[in-house]
């Protein structure tokens, strides 16, 4: 078989000679064709071959010990129970889901989507101060609960708010630390200083621009404030 193939190959070479192709063209031509065939086998033929059902069918005969179909009643009962368990994991009341990548939120009530819209979340800016201090403006991910709700919130500016603007950091309790009217009409606390609040910069809704808090538009914020009670779950991803 091998000798036959070799003979055939040599004959083909002679045919090329017969075509009066210059001898110095023949070698590169043969080499190029060989490389092309090689690449095709590696990149196309082998992956195709690896996906042929033939190889698996042959093996299945050895691997399996066929039998009659077992009774599926217990499986059906098990599935119903498991499905119920999974369904129970989703809060039955109200909860909020915040997508920090897309900067959007979805509000659910009785497992139904009742409102969705744009919000703003952490900018992922790492602010580095000269004194080896740094802050990462990131909205934390995970499950949170609404810990508190306030109307007409006042922003108590943390150190980074001054450092970021090139200002000297005032002592705690200094009047310059308090800013009124910048957080909108409502704020819901998620703990650790993170809030869901309003914004003056509505054009940035849908963009990651905050220092970690979640900003919403006025109408969305009002709905969220009125819908979510203290203790309601907030899922951030």
Partner 1 sequence: MKHTLLKILTIFVPVLLLLVALQYSIFSVLSVRKQYQDICDSAENNIPQPNEEDSTWVQLYKEKTWLESRLNSAKSDSICLSINLKDSVIQLELKGVVLLSSPMITYSTDRLLKELTPGGYHNLFSKEVQAINDLSTIEKVPLIIKQAPKDTIEYARQSHAVDSLPNEEVHWLMQFENGIELHIEGSDSDLHKKIWRNKFWQKQNFATTLAKLKKTLRFETPEYHPRIMVVISKTDAKAIYRALPEKPLICIRM
- Chain positions 164 to 193 lying near partner 1, rule: CB under 8 A, are 164-167
When asked if residue 79 is in the footprint of partner 1 (CB under 8 A), the reply is: yes
Nearer to partner 1, 127 or 154 (CB): 127
Nearer to partner 1, 98 or 153 (CB): 98
**Binder among 4, 20, 89, 172 for partner 1 (CB under 8 A):** 89
Is 106 buried (19+), middle (13-18) or exposed (0-12) by CB count in 10 A?
middle
When asked if residue 18 is in the footprint of partner 1 (CB under 8 A), the reply is: no
Cβ neighbours, 10 Å, residue 155 = 17
Interactions with partner 1, residue window 105-124 (CB under 8 A): 123-124
Q: How far is the CB of 152 from partner 1 (least distance, A)?
A: 27
Q: What is the CA radius of gyration of the chain?
A: 34
> Is residue 107 a contact partner of residue 188, using CB atoms and an 8 Å limit?
no
C-alpha torsion sign, points 55, 56, 61, 62 = positive
Q: Taking CB under 8 A as the rule, which mask of x and - marks residues 202-231 in contact with partner 1?
A: --x--xxx----------------------
When asked if residue 146 is in the footprint of partner 1 (CB under 8 A), the reply is: no
Is 49 buried (19+), middle (13-18) or exposed (0-12) by CB count in 10 A?
exposed
* Cross-sheet strand order for the sheet of 112-120: 142-145, 233-236, 94-99, 104-109, 112-120, 214-216, 194-197, 186-191, 148-151
Stretch that binds partner 1, among 97-105, 173-181, 186-194, 222-230 (CB under 8 A): 97-105
| Residues in binding contact with partner 1, number by CB under 8 A | 79
Interactions with partner 1, residue window 33-62 (CB under 8 A): 33-35, 37-38, 41-43, 45-46, 49-53, 55-57, 59-60
């Amino acid at each position: 078989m091998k000798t036959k193939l070799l003979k055939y190959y040599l004959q083909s070479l002679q045919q090329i000679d017969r075509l009066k192709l210059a001898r110095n063209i023949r070698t590169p031509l043969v080499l190029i064709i060989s490389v092309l065939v090689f690449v095709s086998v590696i990149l196309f033929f082998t992956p195709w071959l690896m996906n042929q059902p033939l190889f698996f069918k042959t093996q299945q005969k050895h691997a399996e010990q066929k039998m009659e179909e077992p009774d599926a009643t217990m499986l059906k009962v098990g599935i119903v129970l498991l499905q119920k368990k999974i369904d129970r994991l989703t809060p039955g009341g109200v909860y909020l889901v915040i997508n920090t990548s897309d900067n959007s939120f979805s509000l659910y009530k009785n497992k139904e989507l009742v409102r969705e819209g744009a919000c703003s979340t952490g900018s992922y800016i790492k602010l580095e101060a000269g004194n080896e201090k740094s802050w990462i403006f990131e909205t934390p991910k995970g499950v949170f609960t609404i810990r508190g709700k306030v109307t007409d919130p006042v922003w108590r500016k943390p150190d980074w708010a001054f450092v970021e603007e090139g200002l000297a950091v005032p002592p705690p309790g200094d009047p310059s630390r308090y800013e009124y009217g910048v957080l909108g009409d409502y704020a819901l606390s998620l703990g650790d200083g993170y809030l869901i609040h309003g914004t003056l910069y509505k054009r940035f809704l849908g963009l990651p621009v905050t220092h970690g808090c979640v900003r919403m538009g006025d109408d969305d914020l009002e709905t969220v404030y009125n819908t979510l009670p203290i203790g309601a779950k907030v899922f951030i991803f």
